[in-house]
Amino acid sequence: MIAAACELLQVSETRAAAAVDVLVDAGLLEAEEGAVAPYADRRQTWEAHGWTAAHDYHLATWDYPFVDYDVDGWTRDRTLMATYDDVEADVSVWVHDRCSHLAGDFSLPPADEALETLTAPVGHLAAGSTLSAEKLTILLASTFGRLPPRGGAKKPRRSSPSGGAQHPVEGYIVNLSVPGIDRGVWHIRGRDNDLVRIASLPGDEWLTKNLSGLFRAAWTPEAVVVFTAVFARNMYRYREPRTLRTIFLDTGHLIATLETAAAAQGIASFAHHGMDDPAVEQLLGLTGLREGAMAGVGLAGGVT
pLDDT category of residue 121 using cuts at 50, 70 and 90: low
Q: How far apart are CA 70 and CA 72, in angstroms?
A: 7
* Structure confidence at residue 118 (pLDDT): 86
Q: Model confidence over 265-278: pLDDT tens digits?
A: 999 999 999 999 99
Domain range 106-300, CATH class? alpha beta
Compute the CA torsion angle 125, 126, 132, 133 (nearest 10 deg).
40
Q: Model confidence over 218-255: pLDDT tens digits?
A: 999 999 999 999 998 888 888 888 888 889 999 999 99
Q: Are 298 and 217 in contact (CB under 8 A)?
A: yes
The larger pLDDT score, comparing residue 31 to residue 110, is at: 110
Please report, for residues 101, 119, 138, 250, the alpha-carbon distance to residue 198 in angstroms, rounded to integers and kept in the order given.
12, 32, 20, 24
- Partnered with residue 270 across adjacent β-strands are 298
Please report, for residues 5, 24, 143, 289, 293, the alpha-carbon distance to residue 8 in angstroms, rounded to integers and kept in the order given.
5, 17, 33, 10, 18
Residue % of the chain over a pLDDT of 70: 86
The letter for the amino acid at 194 is D
* Structure confidence at residue 124 (pLDDT): 45
* Structure confidence at residue 235 (pLDDT): 86
The larger pLDDT score, comparing residue 135 to residue 237, is at: 135
pTM given for the model = 0.80
The residues spanned by each domain of the chain are 2-64, 106-300
Q: Model confidence over 78-102: pLDDT tens digits?
A: 888 888 888 888 877 777 777 767 7
